[in-house]
A and B are shown apart, each in its own frame.
Chain A
Amino acid sequence: MKQIKNIYFDYQATTPVDPRVLKKMMPYFGEIYGNPHSRNHSYGWEAEEGVEVAREQVANLIGANPKEIIFTSGATESNNLAIKGVAEFYGDKKNHIITCVTEHKCVLESCRNLDGKGFKITYLPVSSDGLIDLDLLKKEITDKTLLVSIMGVHNEIGVIQPLEKIGQICRENEVFFHTDCAQAIGKIPLDVEKMNIDLMSISGHKIYAPKGVGALYIRRKPRVRISSMISGGGQERGMRSGTLSPALCVGLGEACNIYSQEMEQENKMLSKFKKMMLDGIRKACPDVYLNGSEMSRVPGNLNLSFAYVEGESLMMGIKNLAVSSGSACTSASLEPSYVLKALGVEEELAHTSLRIGFGRFTTENEVKYATKTIVSEVMRLRELSPLWEMAQEGVDISKIKWAHH
């Protein structure tokens, strides 16, 4: 049997480290081994310099001051720190947080954690395009509202929330605005001033830096205070104790630096790939649905429902294409994605969904090959599908009385 090479189409789960990033990191695993917090000798200073350059590179990409950036282990930690940290610091004055039902689990779980500690949490619904309703957001804000946490770009469906408008509403109402931008940074232009963002979570491994590093932007003017979660030597301005890994910080910095120069160019390439695949699939297969807004989305994400073909069997059929059904965090369970449910995607369609992600190292030939493979496998499995057969015969599947298990 001919061995077919595996092709990676899961750039929302994680990305490979860019060789340029790795090259910048390497000295910090070797000759530059000082503790960046050592103030008394050149070993420390050298490591510190690497970290501070990286801090500036991260800040530059989002229009922030380097003093407003602290390094963390990743976006999960950043989201926890932002939400719980603000809640703990201001909790005796205001106790209401607004977030959204389709947020990442680490935001939802952080909020749920506070729910039992005297906080009231409002979960905004989304409309069928995956976006929140700004009027509803305005309506939900009260004089007790401390924080609004809405993500920039969605990990599963790739939709872009209107950050600038949300930021404006928050500022007008003197509410802090936190945004999980793990999937947004480098993919869409971000400007903490223009968008009135007070806290922003950033992840390294979604932008071709290594896993295990992230950052949190915390506004200084007007100042946002947070209580730290980790007690220790008071590193990162007392907000995140623990010795930094200069290599990881440098990696995140360089990844941001690359995006400062190449975002537009990369988005052009990804838009071309997205159009190629979407047009190719739609031309060959009827009854394929794009989940989430078609207009307000990043080009590197396609979340598609292939009606009448169960997602897991499709993944098995295209096994040399690494794609994801639902999000990686929940795909171990047999439940369809909570995100698609929130969009109002019917359960039977949610079971037929795949997330296909393009990125920096995707090639045109790979996109062409994947399109062809997906189309032929969908056709094959539809020939096997009793639902497809019924649909072709004009039977209304929703009218059948199914025995639910």
Chain B
Amino acid sequence: MAYSKELLDHYENPKNVGSMDKDSAEVGTGLVGAPACGDVMKLQIKVNKKGVIEDAKFKTFGCGSAIASSSLITEWVKGKNLDEAHSIKNTEIANHLALPPVKIHCSILAEDAIKAAIDDYKKKNRKNR
């Protein structure tokens, strides 16, 4: 099975690896997947006062496709507002990375992760107001 150039590049040189302070009000954290299923994604976004995602970080336990999917989505969400980020579809990730059919679930997980991070951010900031 040959992986695409894009996928290999994100796997070998993943963008935005790291962690942010999950207790900060500006940060939303999504943690999806399960170790027993072989995939866990942690995706974090930092949102500014205008509601725009300023920064994004991830850490992923999973196959190369899962790592590449998370790396790609952190690149995509930066500079987007929450609604735009929320509307990213897994199929766009799968197409961009040319994921093979058995790896489509990795792109779904990335979509779930960004949605979970946005939800977490919104929940936190609703309380604060």
Contacts and interface: CB of A to CB of B under 8 A. Distances in A.
Contacts of A386: 31, 40-42, 59-61
Contacts, number: 77
Interface residues of A, number: 25
B62 A397 contact: no
Interface stretch (B11-19, B45-53, B83-91, B119-127): B11-19
Contacts of B61: 308-310, 384-388
B79 interface: no
Given A313-B63, A384-B14, A389 B19 contact: yes
B35 A316 contact: no
Contacts of B38: 310, 312, 334, 336, 348, 351
Contact of A334 (B11, B34, B60, B102): B102
B33 A312 contact: no
B117 interface: no
Interface string A317-358: 100000000000000001010000000001110010000000
A384 B59 contact: yes
Given A383-B17, A386-B42, A403 B63 contact: no
Contacts of A334: 38, 102
A397 B64 CA distance: 22
A321 to B, nearest CB: 15
Contact of A402 (B35, B42, B60): B35
B104 to A, nearest CB: 12
A405 B42 CA distance: 16
Given A385-B59, A386-B61, A402 B67 contact: no
A41 interface: no
B82 to A, nearest CB: 22
Contacts of A316: 3, 11, 63-64
B105 interface: yes
A51 B46 CA distance: 73
Contacts of B42: 386, 389
A348 B14 CA distance: 23
A221 interface: no
A389 B29 CA distance: 15
A132 B64 CA distance: 36
Contacts of B64: 312-313, 316-317
Contact of B33 (A308, A346, A405): A405
Interface string A250-280: 0000000000000000000000000000000
A310 B62 contact: yes
Contacts of B105: 405
B34 A313 contact: no
B90 to A, nearest CB: 13
Contact of A347 (B17, B31, B33, B36): B36
A6 to B, nearest CB: 15
Given A310-B62, A313-B63, A316-B63, A387 B17 contact: no
Interface string A89-133: 000000000000000000000000000000000000000000000
Contacts of A310: 38-39, 61-63, 66
Instruction: Give the top 3 A-B pairs by smallest Cβ distance, nearest first.
Output: A348-B35, A402-B34, A386-B42
Interface of B: 3, 11, 14, 17, 19, 31-42, 59-64, 66-67, 102, 105
